[in-house]
Structure formats: C-alpha cells, structure tokens
Chains A and B, each alone.
Chain A
Amino acid sequence: MTYLSFLKSELLAVFYRKQDTINALAFFLIVITLFPLGVNPSADFLEPAAGGIVWCAASLAILLSVESLFKEDFNDGSLEQLIASGLYLPITILIKLVIQWCAVIVPLLLLIPLFSQMLFLPWSIVHVLIFTLLLGSPALFLVGTIGAALTVSLKRGAVLVLLIILPFYLPVIIFATGAISAAQAGQDYSGQLAILGAISLLSLALSPGMSAVSIKASMN
C-alpha cells in the first residue's frame, strides 16, 4: 500500500458511496425549506436569519458525514490493514478527510447561490457566505474526525461524538454567522474571517495527530 494507492482507493470509495453525498445535500435542502415554513416565510425575517440557518444546516450535515468516517474501515478490517501497512497514519487520515471534504463541501458550495436565494440573502452577501464556508468548514471536519476516531470501536457512538465535538463547533458557528451579519450591516467582516481561518489552521495542526492516537487507542 502506498499513499497514492490509498488516495485512489479512497476516491473510489467516495464514488461508490455517492448516496452519502446526496443524503448530506438532501438533508441540507430539507432544513433550508422547512425552516421558513415552520417559522416565518417573509423576507423581513429570513434575510437576517439566513446566515444562521445555512450554518446550522451545514454543521449538522458535516457532523452526519464525519461521524461514520472510519466505521466501514473498522468493520471490514481495512483500518487494521492501514495501521499495519507502515504508512504514517496522520497523513492517511488527512488524505481521507480532504477527499470527504471535497465530496460534501464542493457540491454544497455550488448550490449555495441557489439556497441563499431561497432565504432572501442579497446577492452582494453571497460571496461572504461562501468565504465563511470555505474557511470554517475545514475546522468542523477536522474536529469531527477526532470524535469519530475516539468512538470508532463503539457500536452506538453517534450521540457520544455529538457530545464530544459540539462545544468545539460553537466558535466556528459564532464567528461565521458574525461575519455574515457584519457584512449585512455594511461593516468590515475580515476579522471574523481571519479567526475562522485561524481556527481551521489550528485544527489542521492538531487533528490528524490526535485522531491517529485515538484510532490506535480504539483498536485496543
């Protein structure tokens, strides 16, 4: 096994599990459609709330896709093979994560202009929403991976993952929606974006190593 063959097989696995990507997007769409129906469909309410709605839906969609990141590999023995292969585990985890991020976030970003119109978000703000997703979502994936790695050997670990990682999602959501409301109020939002980028970089430095340690601990 080499890094390249691992990358290829992960791409193939994502391709065979296209249903998961579609599920995440469908989930996102459902939240976005139900929210106005349930609360208030008027533009006066939705315009200021749009950033928050999109970000909550995105966080939950990411959580769902990250939670099962290692499940299949654990169940069919691939994870054991990966550990025994001699490849550096943090790098393989990062490869897996980048592919998963592309599979979920890229289609989401392509659909964001459409979704934002459903929530009456002005065109002049859409690019800010896209920036916050680009800078903030890596942090959500990276932190989620630690949770998924910790609970990989548990049969019903989903709730535990939620409890472990949700507190770490809060700053990302707060700064992301903060950037959007600042943009809507015509203020400078570069500070919030910088913090989102910083959180993502910090998680990039910590998450692969911590996930690798957690996976090895879970095998015991």
Chain B
Amino acid sequence: MQSTLTLSVSNLLIERAERLLCKDLSFEIHAGEIVHIVGENGAGKSSLLKVIAGVLSPLEGELFFAGERITAHRDVLQAQLCYLGHLAGVKSSFTVIENLALHFPAATEVQILAALRSVNIEKYATTPAYQLSAGQQKRIGLARLWLTNKKVWLLDEPFTALDTKGVTVLEEKLQQHAELGGMTLLTTHQKLNSTLHARELSLDS
C-alpha cells in the first residue's frame, strides 16, 4: 500500500510573469518523506506547490501520483491533498470554528476544539478571525493538519508568524505524519529540526 503512494514530477517547466522557473525539474517523493524545498526569494517555491496542487498549470512536464498521470486532471491527487498556501483561505468575517467547518463538514465540534487546542487557539473558537493576530490566523489554517486524514501535505511557509513553541508543535506534527506514511512538501527559510530527516530540494540553478 505505502509503496504505491509516490508523487513524481518530471521535466517540469513553470512560467510566471514571463520568467521561466524550475527548468527541467524532476523529483520523486515517497510515502513517509518530508521534502524541504529551498531556494531564493522568487525561485519558484510557491509556484511549484501551486502547480502540484493544480492551482497553476505547468508549461511543460508531467506529474504522476500513485502510478497515474495527473498532469491534466488532479482528481486522484486532490482526493489525498491538503494544500496550505501562503494565504490559507481563512475568511476574516468567519469565526475560527466556522472557518474549519467549511473544510471538515464531518468533523464534530469536539474534534475541531481538540485541533484548536493543539495549535493553542482554543479559547478563540468563536471569535471572528479578523480580531486575531497574524500568528493566530496562521494557526487557523494549520489546525487543518490536525483534522485532516489526507496523505499529501503541501505547506507554503508554514512556520512564518509562529512563535518558537508553535514551531516545535508543528514539527512534531510533521514527524507524526511522516511516521504514519504521509508525505509532506514544504517551503521555509527556517532551519528544520534534524530529527525530521527532511530531504532538501534546491530550486537554485
């Protein structure tokens, strides 16, 4: 089962604002791996995640997931995907619980509160998101990682605006996800804890 869960990218070419990014990029990620995408600002880290998530289309190249070609239709991947972009789609007028209920209609309030406790914003559960700080809003998006059962996580700068305690909690969650056979692709300029055994993928040419 685990061996089939592989995401592979071959000869990817991404164009953003008439600049070519990730020329001829090929890599493979297996279940249980954490891949840390590194690169300068503007190297195309976020674009790469968006292309994999299906938000952007690549100019050239192919994507495969679990043995199927997903270049044109990402359905197979999206059924297993938890994508947290730079902006995680937190609606500012919604309360914290309402924001999560959109993504997890089947989750009970107890489960959602437990997830909020993990990211330490439980006492703001019924507060509108716009009243929270940047770090707390970030945590609303991150709380989804505690509720999801999806296998593929694409995280764009998950550590920004988090305090040191928050970073530790998130690193533990990533470790746990990897141990359970999930794969994570993340971008960050922070140094990851060596216990995560993250593989580095450089976009700098």
Contacts and interface: CB of A to CB of B under 8 A. Distances in A.
Interface of A: 1-2, 4-6, 8-9, 12-13, 16-17, 72, 75-86, 216, 219-220
A16 B93 contact: yes
B78 A85 contact: yes
A9 B98 contact: yes
Contacts of A83: 53-55
Given A2-B105, A6-B102, A220-B57, 10 more contacts: A1-B103, A5-B102, A9-B91, A72-B91, A76-B87, A77-B89, A80-B89, A81-B83, A84-B78, A220-B56
14 contacts: A5-B103, A8-B101, A8-B105, A9-B91, A13-B91, A13-B93, A77-B87, A79-B89, A80-B53, A80-B85, A83-B54, A83-B55, A84-B53, A220-B57
Contacts of B89: 76-82
A47 to B, nearest CB: 43
Interface of B: 16, 50, 53-57, 74-75, 78-79, 81, 83, 85-94, 98, 101-105
What does DSSP make chain B's interface, helix, strand, loop or mixed? Answer: loop
A78 B140 CA distance: 13
Contacts of B88: 77, 81
A80 B53 CA distance: 9
B7 to A, nearest CB: 14
Contact of A84 (B57, B81, B94, B104): B81
Contacts of A6: 102
